[in-house]
Amino acid sequence: MIQIYHNPRCSKSRQGLAIVEASGQTFEVIKYLDNPPSTTEMEGLLTKLNMAPEALIRKGEAIWKEQFKGKDLDHSALVDALCTHPKLIERPIVVNGDKAVVGRPPEAINDVL
């Protein structure tokens, strides 16, 4: 089943959700700010995205600048930051089977539908 990691307050995430809805496929909405991914789930997402954790971090967020910017963080510390502070996760993320994509731009979601 298709999953979308969604933040309703984000316009790109809302655009991504509209693309998934328009596909006519069954999907699950995961409001990751309310239910942050576990470390295991985040590692699985990164594998499906074929991304390093740093590439998934929203570096413009205040929490990144205040707590993490300029620090030498290893893979597990970055994954922990994403799980502990889900606001740092780039969005939306759409997962379909063993593939996933960050919907930036939203049209990229079509690659996994």
Q: In what order do the strands lie in the sheet with 2-5?
A: 27-30, 2-5, 93-96, 99-102
Enzyme catalytic residues: 10
Q: How deeply is 6 buried, as exposed, middle or buried, from its count of CB atoms within 10 A (0-12, 13-18, 19+)?
A: buried
Between the CA of residue 21 and those of 14, 85, 96, what are the distances in Å?
10, 28, 14
- Joined tokens for residue 112: 């996994």
